Amino acid sequence: MSIVTTDRLTLREMTPSDLDDMAALLGDEQVMRYYPRTKTRDEARRWIEWNRSLYRDHGFGLWAITLTETGAFVGDCGLTIQRIDGVDEVEVGYHVRTEYQRRGYATEAAAASRDLARDRYSIGRLIAVINADNQPSTAVAERIGLRFEKHASVYGQDRLIYAANLAGLGRPG
């Protein structure tokens, strides 16, 4: 099911048929270099199942990113719930295949997810949880209007929290 189409990308719900692509994405050492480790094929299957449960429970999750023109799998991007300092927050997250990085796809998909958070899901605040060494992810967060807010422990790891109130953010004019 297609969620949104941008100039170059389509974000759609993940399905079990995405397992090969998701396993390759989450198993790629370069893509996962800012995570504790890569994910196994079974963990990639559970990742898809987790996102499908998020779609049912919240109406959103991480979506598969494909090139609109060719249907090629680019990665995943979307919205998840993260518990930060005892508060449930909506996070925008993204992973892009190595061969598609540095083309603006993460920013394009994250901006579309930000706009969906605000316009479709009426979410007032959006965060990104980022490893301090992950400069590309920090740049994406900043390009979509999020700003550094604080350090927080997330799953036992020190992370940067970028955040924005969404009212008026990203709207033309």
Element (H, E) at 94: strand 87-96
173 pLDDT above the threshold of 50: no
Half-sphere exposure of 58 (CA within 13 A, CB side): 23
**pLDDT (tens digit per residue) in 5-17:** 999 999 999 999 9
Q: Report the CATH number at residue 120.
A: 3.40.630.30
**pLDDT (tens digit per residue) in 25-77:** 999 999 999 998 999 999 999 999 999 999 999 999 999 999 999 999 999 99
Contacts of 81 (CB under 8 A, 6+ apart): 54, 58, 88, 89, 90, 91
Residue 172 is assigned to a structural domain of this protein: no
Residue 81 is assigned to a structural domain of this protein: yes
Tally of domains in the chain: 1
Residue 65 is assigned to a structural domain of this protein: yes
Residue 173 is assigned to a structural domain of this protein: no
- How many Å apart are CA 32 and CA 50, to the nearest integer? 18
Structural domain including 61 reads 2-165
**pLDDT (tens digit per residue) in 93-110:** 999 999 999 999 999 999
Looking at the whole model, is its pTM more than 0.85? Answer: yes
